[in-house]
Every structure is written in C-alpha cells, then in structure tokens.
Amino acid sequence: LSGRRFARPRGYGDYALWVAVLQDAPLDEALRTASDSSSERPVQAEEREQEPEQEGAVDELCERAMLALRTSDGLDLDSVGSEFGSAAQEVVERSLMKNAHLIVRNGRRLRLSAPDGFMMSNDVISTVFADLEDSRDAILAGVPQPPAEQHAT
C-alpha cells in the first residue's frame, strides 16, 4: 500500500476490527486508530519483531513462492532448495503437482499456466501454504544454517 507492506493482525477479532477501521477512515488515521485499538497493531513488515532466522524461513518461503507464482517466470525449485533446504523444495514441488493441470514445468522452474493457472492461483498458492505449514518442523530441521561469523585473530 503506497509502496509499503503491512502485516495484518492474526486473531480474527483483531483482524475484523482492523478491517472495519481501515474501511472507515483515511489511511494515516486508520493505521493510527487500528494500532491503538488492536492488541496486535498493523505494522509494516520491516517493523515486525524479528523472528529467529530459522523460524521465519517457512513464512519467507511462503511469501517468495506466492510472489514468484504470480509472475510468468514462476518459481525456481533449485533456488528453493539452496535457500530453504531439500525438504522445503520437495514439499513445494509435491504441493504444486497436486494441481499439475495448472502448472507448466520448464526444467526445474514451475509456473502457473495461462489463463487457467492464473485464474486459480489463489487455490494453488493456498495449497502450497497449507502443505508448507503442515511440514514446518521437517522443513526447519533442514533449513541451511547461515555461516557462523568468523572473527579475525
């Protein structure tokens, strides 16, 4: 929104209140009011408390998959594997192939078909999200760890 990304409240009651406030007020006022009246204020994604890097990996993968699948280039499975581990790569690939009739494969890159795949993108992407969440523990166990900082001696 206006070049900024916002996180929504996760609880349904807080979310419903947040939406109602946003619909009835100018943006700046709505964000201020929603922030004051909700136990989990809407915040820019960059402001969100930093999760441990590994814990946030599945959420980052969900976002990356969603954004990539909404482009004509699609999602590079090898990139998923190198950044998030082979378990994540397998879950994403298996999940997308549940809708194989809507997927176009070009080597290790998968994309939604046009126009049917793009019209059904929300269903395909929500299936990927659900499968990633169901496999969260296995994925986190296989997430490559960032290299330890080496101190000069």
Residue-level pLDDT, tens digit, the chain, 153 residues: 555 566 666 666 766 776 777 677 666 665 555 455 444 444 444 444 444 456 688 889 999 999 999 999 999 999 999 999 999 999 999 999 999 999 999 999 999 999 999 999 999 999 999 999 999 988 988 876 555 555 554
Helix H or strand E encompassing 8? none
Can you list the pairs that 75-81 forms with residues at least 24 positions away whose Cβ atoms lie under 8 Å?
Answer: 75/109, 75/110, 75/111, 76/108, 76/109, 77/108, 77/109, 77/110, 78/108
pLDDT of residue 61: 94
pTM: 0.61
- pLDDT number for residue 144: 65
pLDDT for 33 equals 52
